[in-house]
Structures are given as C-alpha cells and as structure tokens.
Structure 1
Amino acid sequence: MVFEELTARLNDAGYKNWVKAGHCLRTLQEGLRPYTDSEMRSFHRDVLKQDPLLRQSCRGSCSLKGDQVSSLCRECLGWQRVILHHHRCPEVKVNWENCSPQAWRLEHWELAKAFMPRGLLRVKGAEQCDASALLNLINFCTRFHSVETRAVREVIQCRNELMHSCELRVDEAWMRRYQRALGRLLQQLGHVAALAEAGRQIKEILTADWSICVTGLPHLQGFVEPDSGSRWETNTESISRWEAELLQERLQELLHDDGAQGAEQLPRLKDLLRANRDLEERFCAELQALSAREAAGAVG
C-alpha cells in the first residue's frame, strides 16, 4: 500500500519535481554545513587577532530583544561594530535576537547567526541550520566575498518559491531555472570537496527518472528505474524518507508561521497528509497537534 500511494503521488509530475527539488536543497545544505562552519571558525579567529580587546568578557550579561542594542556593554558593543562592518547590507535589519552577545567572543556560530534569518537563538551550530540560514549567511557576511551574491540570491529565491508553493508542485520551466541557479552557485564552490560531491549528487537527482516499478517480484518491488542518461539507482524507502523529511520541514515552518501565508498553506498540506494513508500514519502526532490548535483557535 505504501509503495502504491507513493507511486500515485510521483505520477504527478509537478509534485515529483517538488520533492526532487527539495531533496536537492537538502543535499546542498549538507555540503554547505562543513564549509560555512570552517569559514566562520576562521573568521572568528581572525577577528580576535585583529582586535585583542574583543577577547574581554561581557560585563553586563547582555541579551538582545528585537532592536534593543543600546543596552549592550562596551565589550559587546565592540562585537556589534564588527558585525555591522562585515555585513554586506548594513542597512538591512540585523536579527540581533538570534544572538547571545556574551558568547560572541567564545563561539564562532554566535557570530554567524547575526547574518541569518530570525528564529535561530537556540541553534548552536551549522549542523542545526537549514539551507536558507546558510545561504543567507553567505549572502550577507563579507567573509564569503569570493562568492557572487547574485548566484546565492538566485538559489535563495528558488528555495523560497519551492517551500512556499501552495500546491506543493513546480513545473519543468521552474526546474530548469532552479538547475541553472544551483549550477552557477556550485561552480563557484567547486574547490570545496563537500560541495563538489553535493554538486555530483544534485546532478544525479535531477537527471533520474524516479519512475517506480512495483512488481509482484519481492526482490524487484520498489526499484526505481533511472533514465538512460543516469546511473543513479535508489529505492522507494529512500524516496519515501526524502519526501517525509521535506514535508516535515514545511510542516514545521507553517506551524510557526502565524501570518496569512501559513493560514493559507497549512490546510492544503493537511489535506495531502490526510488523503494518503502512509503520510497520515507517519504524521499522526503532527495532525493531532494541528487539530488541537484549530480547536483552541475556534474556542478563542
């Protein structure tokens, strides 16, 4: 039954494209994590060498809420100046609430989070960051001056379009644009081993057919037939897992989105989960939480 339901979903070309594009994004994310971690570790070390005064401890147990930066102690204000100096677009609002200022001198990733989207206060390292956070870091931090910002922003735009798709579908024209954007970015980062490998995997994902052949033979059940231009083979368990990871990420984003976009897209995602028994069983706890939230909203 699981194979049959997955096969039916992947027979929808737009939905299959959405899942494939999402898996490419997660593959890119895995390559970006060690790269950004290494670069920000070196950046943090260089900043401390350039200004030894930044090694001094925070004197006021400083914390930040929204734009409240005037209450920082002298030592933390020094770090704030460093962040603004190395921000490619200092006129853009910096998400200070991501940061624990007293940790800037100690943790390179606390410095990195100042260049990322909001909501990352509890994130402790690159391994906990999604592609959006890492791409924004590269886009805004001058440490990554060798990477063309246009290429980064094109991938960020594609990522936002993908994750904000109300129908969870993208067409072939969009996929071609996405592939070009990924190619331009990865070409600039080809000297990084993890990203060179990510690039090879992404090419294989995009050229694979993902046509599932469910037969009566147990040893063939769930085999994915690649197209003639690809040697990439996988199985339904892998595709099912990748699909679930993408749906989980989108569901969590929508659950934390109190705006109009979340209110519009969440029912569509919920309908998809409930219309497919395998997904309904996998996301049973999340669907119960949604029902409870809706009930509380109705009472309120």
Structure 2
Amino acid sequence: MAHETHLKNNKYRQWVKAGLGLRYLQEGLAPFCDDIGKQQHNDIINKIQQTKTPQPNVPCGACQITTLQPDHVPVSKGICPLLQKNCNCCFPKKTKRCPNNICGAIYDSIIQYHASTPPAPFWRNSDSQQWSTDPWSVCKCFINVPGCKDKTSAVDTELIGLLNVIINNKYFHNHFGCNVTGPNNLFSKVRQYRNDILHSTSMELEESKANTYIEDMIAVLQDGKEIVHRQDAQQAVLKLQELKKKDFVITSESKDEMSENVAAEEEHEELKVLNV
C-alpha cells in the first residue's frame, strides 16, 4: 500500500521525526512561558499601582484597544514618543482614558517591552479588556502572527506563538542565558526550522539535518540560566533525545501526533494569508 512505502522511506521518517520534535519542544517551553508571563504581568501591575496617582483599580474590563487612550502623549502631531506606528496616542479625539487608571499604563508597558524596532505589538491577538487580570492576554500582544486570540494560556498556544513571545518580548530575554536577538540566534533558527518542516512539499528530510534541528531544540530547553532546571522542560529533552536514536520507528501513534501538530501549526499559516 502507498502509505507503507512512505513509512519505509527514511527521508520521510526523518521529516516525521523532526515534526515530532516541534511537538516536544512546545511541551517543554509552554509551562515556562506561562510562568514567565505571570511574572511579567505581576511586575507590570505592581509597578503601575506603586507609581500612579490616583491608585489604579484592578480589575478593569472596560477598555477596548481601538478606543483606549495610552498614558503617554505624542511629542508632536502624529509622532509617538515610544516610536510605535499608528499609535493610539496620535488620535486623542478618538480615544478615552481608562476609567480605572490602569489599561493605558499596561498599553505603554507592552510597547516598551516589545523588542522590534519600531515596536509593533500585534494588538489583534489580544483582548485589552482582560489585560488587568490575565497574563497571557498581555503575552499574546508579542505574537506577530494571527490566530491566537482564543488561546487562553501558553499550553494551548502553538510553538510558533511561543517562539514569537520569547523573541519579541524583552522581559523574556532576561530569563535566558543565550542571546535571543543577535544574528543567527538559537530561537530564530528554531523558528525557521519549524517553517522549513511544515512547508516541505516533499515531506522529506535528510537524517543529518533532522538531527541538527533536534539538537538545537534540545539546546533551547537546556539553556543554562533557568529552563534547564525545570523538570517539565527536561522531560521534553528526554523525548527529543529518544528521537535521535538510530532505532527510531514510526508508529501509527507517532504519525498521528505529527499530523495533529502540522494541522495546528498550519492553521496559523492559513489565518496569516487571510489577514494579509
């Protein structure tokens, strides 16, 4: 049968192996991203409450991103001091201040933490009405691909989303020992691996390349600053190391895992095309 021929093809087996690697990397990164997102949210809220007068009220739940007035003001007509293009600060007549004195400051914090130049939060992924209480709603502003608005945590966010949060959020940079944004940084390389694997029309991969992909996925989870000390991340490392063994065999279960992973990640690609 045709599928049996595919399963015997070593290059196809290596492609499946690399795809499962993406699945295990997501499993290892997600709890860490959730925890760092909660830390960031707590720091943002605490700082706002300590520095703002009058004392902000939490929760808010009243502010829409399209009409929210930031705390900062333009330096001149149409020029945002935080360098964000088309910032809400440039349209004061169309926006209104947060009634609880909190959401405008969170808006500013998101821009200030964004690592791109100029900063470019992806507001459409997030619900600003949840910013004051939900850490992942803030993190989703750093995912610059569509399709994450309904994701409630890192655990149900696809790998491309987690990698974007890490790369685009300066707060996360402080929790890794490696350079997250430099040339050929590990996270951007792994993000490109993900694209190469999912966009492969042949669904084939050389064994040496598959192993290189997996070695770099392992390196992400063994970063020496924090994540290397987490049990959930190191359990994912053990799964990745198993994939590299010469006797790796594709079972119907592993093939189904790969298919589920591809389907979930490809949903982002379809949404990205629709939102161009």
Aligned to 1:73: 97
Deviates more, 1:102-111 or 1:119-128: 119-128
Please say which structure displays the higher CA radius of gyration.
1
Partners in 2 of 1:32 and 1:55 — Cα distance? 33
Deviates more, 1:131-140 or 1:238-247: 238-247
Higher helix proportion, which one? Answer: 1
- After TM superposition, the structure 1 = structure 2 runs for residues 221-300 of structure 1, keeping only pairs within 5 Å, are 236-249=251-264, 252-253=267-268, 255-256=270-271, 258=273
TM norm structure 2: 0.74
Would the alpha carbon gap of residues 258 and 85 (structure 1) be closer, same or farther in structure 2, given more than 3 Å must change?
Answer: closer
Aligned to 1:220: none
Partners in 1 of 2:266 and 2:138 — Cα distance? 28
Deviates more, 1:185-194 or 1:171-180: 171-180
**1:60, 1:73 within 8 Å by CA — same for their partners in 2?**
no
What are the Cα deviations for residues 186-232 of structure 1, in whole angstroms up to 9, with x where unaligned? 220311111111111101012253346xxxxxxxxxxxxxxxxxxxx
The answer to whether structure 1 residue 35 and structure 2 residue 32 are counterparts is: yes
Q: Please tell me the residue identity of whatever aligns with 1:62.
A: Q
2:243 pairs, out of 205, 212, 216, with: 205
**2:65, 2:128 within 8 Å by CA — same for their partners in 1?**
yes
Would the alpha carbon gap of residues 51 and 20 (structure 1) be closer, same or farther in structure 2, given more than 3 Å must change?
Answer: same
Would the alpha carbon gap of residues 34 and 14 (structure 1) be closer, same or farther in structure 2, given more than 3 Å must change?
Answer: same
Aligned to 2:142: 115
Partners in 1 of 2:43 and 2:265 — Cα distance? 37
Deviation at 1:92, TM superposition (A): 4.5
Partners in 2 of 1:62 and 1:240 — Cα distance? 43
- After TM superposition, the structure 1 = structure 2 runs for residues 34-53 of structure 1, keeping only pairs within 5 Å, are 34-52=31-49, 53=52
Deviates more, 1:174-183 or 1:11-20: 174-183
Aligned to 2:220: 185
Deviation at 1:237, TM superposition (A): 3.4
Deviation at 1:36, TM superposition (A): 0.9
Q: Please tell me the residue identity of whatever aligns with 1:129.
A: T
TM norm structure 1: 0.69
**1:64, 1:101 within 8 Å by CA — same for their partners in 2?**
no
**2:106, 2:131 within 8 Å by CA — same for their partners in 1?**
yes
Q: Please tell me the residue identity of whatever aligns with 1:79.
A: I
Gapped regions of structure 2 (runs ≥ 5): 68-84, 90-94
Q: Please tell me the residue identity of whatever aligns with 1:171.
A: E
Percent of pairs with identical residues: 22
Partners in 1 of 2:192 and 2:86 — Cα distance? 26
RMSD of the alignment, in Å? Answer: 2.6
Partners in 2 of 1:179 and 1:64 — Cα distance? 42
Aligned length, in residue pairs: 233
**2:160, 2:191 within 8 Å by CA — same for their partners in 1?**
yes
